[in-house]
């Protein structure tokens, strides 16, 4: 999905300005990094695109959806088109790997046979099929992150939002996660990723949007981060 943000400001009570007058266009199928200090507004921006938050002012259009005008009844249908990957995985501890992924499809009423086929396909693709009966606590950090990605993309979303997906991983595992994200992007999914990992940004080149104090201060088509930069 393409994204258009115009004059977007988000103020938290009483007067904390998280985003201020943000203008941003993202084409369908782009891969975009959001970088900047903690508190620069990266996560707030991503949460608004998932409609967890609404802007205080301005407009956000994602595909055909005006998020500011979206009714609560429309929200579940919109979120079916959006996958979200978190730094802390947010897996369901009482479900095994296969059940964690199946839960997403069962929640939207997909028939059981189709659920089983989708789950097997995505777990096989992410090299997790042999781990399907393990619970999250029995899996490594990298396996849990791959499982979180599997859960986010099993419904084949048009937009994938990843908030610090490599933040708790060693470099080798982070590289494997980035390979997966770029593979998903190559299939046509728009990918937005917030990160502090300067190595990842430099090694896996894509558009880089830098935020500072709630404003976009730079936007480079194939940017990089200086080795001792300010991420």
Whole-angstrom distance, CA of residue 61 vs CA of residue 68: 8
Nearest one of 175, 128, 131 to 154, comparing CA atoms? 128
Give me the pLDDT at residue 168, please: 84
All residue ranges of the chain with pLDDT < 70 are: 223-231
Residues written for the chain: 231
Whole-angstrom distance, CA of residue 209 vs CA of residue 222: 10
For the chain, give percent helix, strand, coil, nearest 5.
35, 25, 40
Give me the pLDDT at residue 228, please: 39
- Quote the distance between the C-alpha of residue 206 and its chain's center: 15
DSSP lists the bridge partners of residue 65 as: 62
Give me the pLDDT at residue 224, please: 67
Can the peptide bond before residue 25 be classed as cis, meaning omega within 30 degrees of 0?
A: no
Query: Tens digits of per-residue pLDDT, 53-82?
Result: 999 999 999 999 999 999 989 999 999 999
Nearest one of 40, 62, 46 to 217, comparing CA atoms? 40
Top CATH class of 30-43+71-220 equals alpha beta
The pairing of strands 190-194 and 3-12 is unpaired
């Amino acid at each position: 999905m393409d994204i258009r943000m115009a004059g977007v400001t988000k103020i938290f009570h009483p007067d904390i300005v998280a985003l201020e007058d943000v203008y941003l266009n993202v084409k369908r199928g782009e891969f975009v990094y959001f970088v900047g200090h903690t508190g620069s507004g990266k996560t707030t921006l991503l949460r608004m695109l998932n409609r967890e938050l609404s802007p205080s002012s301005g407009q956000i259009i994602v595909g055909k959806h005006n998020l500011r005008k979206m009714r609560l009844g429309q929200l579940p249908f919109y979120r079916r088109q959006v996958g979200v990957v978190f730094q802390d995985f947010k897996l369901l501890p009482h479900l095994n790997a296969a059940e964690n992924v199946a839960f997403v499809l069962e929640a939207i009423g997909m028939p059981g046979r189709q659920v089983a086929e989708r789950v097997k396909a995505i777990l096989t693709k992410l090299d997790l099929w042999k781990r399907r009966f393990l619970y999250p606590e029995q899996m490594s950090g990298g396996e849990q992150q791959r499982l979180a990605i599997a859960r986010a993309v099993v419904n084949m979303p048009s937009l994938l939002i990843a908030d610090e997906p490599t933040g708790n991983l060693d470099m080798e595992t982070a590289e494997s996660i980035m390979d997966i994200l770029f593979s998903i992007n190559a299939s046509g999914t728009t990918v937005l990723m917030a990160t502090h990992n300067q190595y990842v940004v430099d090694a896996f080149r894509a558009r880089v949007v830098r935020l500072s104090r709630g404003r976009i201060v730079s936007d480079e088509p194939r940017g990089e981060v200086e080795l001792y930069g300010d991420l």
